[in-house]
Amino acid sequence: EIMRGIPADHIILAGFSQGAAMSLYVGLRQPKPLGGIMVLSGYRLLPQEHAGIESCAQKTPVFMGHGIADSVVDMALGKLAYQYLTSQNMDVTWHDYRMQHSVCPEEIADIRAWLLQRFQALA
């Protein structure tokens, strides 16, 4: 998208489960801050790789949502990713929900509010 002329801060990467892990992995390695990264029921991919976060990626806001009864991706893995990101001084919003490995109406409402904040920041 950047090669097509879309400014990096207008791009939000989003994913669910492994897609969320990929979004986080790719988003943290961008040379310019993105508009955001949405991590739904995800985790930190390859945590043993301490390649770290690009310094400008620290300016990228992150939304994380996870089900407390998730039996596919344990919420503890999501929390570890959250703790890592906050230790890197990133702007991370965490929500947990009474759900399994899925998306619920409450999460959708929180996503909507977070996206509206991102879009208002661009205006």
**Which residues are part of the catalytic machinery?**
17, 70, 101
- What's the mean pLDDT in 38-65? 85
Q: How far is CA 6 from CA 3, 38, 110, in A?
A: 7, 18, 26
Using the predicted structure, report yes or no on whether residue 43 has a pLDDT greater than 90: yes
Give backbone dihedrals phi and psi of 95, rounded to 5 degrees, phi first: -135, 135
Closest CA to 66 of 28, 34, 87, 92: 92
Closest CA to 53 of 9, 85, 94: 85
| Cα–Cα distance for residue pair 44/64, rounded to 1 Å | 11
CATH class of segment(s) 2-122: alpha beta
> Which range among 4-8, 46-50, 70-74, 119-123 shows the weakest confidence by mean pLDDT?
46-50
| Cα–Cα distance for residue pair 104/38, rounded to 1 Å | 15
Q: What is the pLDDT of residues 91-108, one digit of tens each?
A: 999 999 999 999 999 999
Q: What is the pLDDT of residues 65-90, one digit of tens each?
A: 999 999 999 999 999 999 999 998 99
